[in-house]
Amino acid sequence: MYNYVLSPIDPDKLIEKIVNEVTANILKVVQKEPNGNLDKEEFLTVSEASKFLHLTLSTVYSKVSRGELPVMKRGKRLYFSKLELLEYLKRGKRKSEEELAVEAETYLLNLEKGLNHGK
C-alpha cells in the first residue's frame, strides 16, 4: 500500500511530469522490440506457421490446398507472411453479444432514417 501526500501543484509542472512519464514508458516499449520496427514483414516456413497457428502440419497443408490460408510458393517451398496469418486469424473473430447488439441498433437506426426520408 502506498502513502500519498496531496498538495497543490502547478498545472504546467503536472503536464510536464505526465509527458515525461509517458515518453519514458513509450521508449521502454520501443527498445524492447528486437528490430525496433513493428512493420517489418516476417516470413514463416510451414512448420513455423503450424506452430504459430497451433495447427498440425497436415491441417496446414490441407488449408493451403483448399485455398484457405494465404501462402507464397517459391520452388517446392511454401512461405507464410506472419502479418497475413494474423489477418487470417482476425477474420475468424466472432463478435461478442455487445458488438452484435450495437451493430443491430445502428442498422435499425439507419433503416429508420432511410424510411423517414421517403415520407
CA atoms of 73 and 45, how far apart (whole Å): 11
Q: Considering the entire predicted model, what is its pTM?
A: 0.51
The set of residues, in sequence order, having a beta carbon less than 8 Å from that of 30 and lying 6+ positions away, is 36
8 A C-beta contact, residue 35 and residue 42: no
Q: Are strands 72-74 and 43-44 parallel, antiparallel or unpaired?
A: unpaired
Measure the CA angle with vertex 79, ends 74 and 80; round to 5°: 145
Residuewise pLDDT in 10s, the chain (119 residues): 677 767 777 777 778 788 778 777 777 776 665 554 545 789 999 999 999 999 999 999 999 999 999 999 989 899 999 999 999 998 887 878 888 888 898 888 888 877 655 54
Cell of 119: 415520407
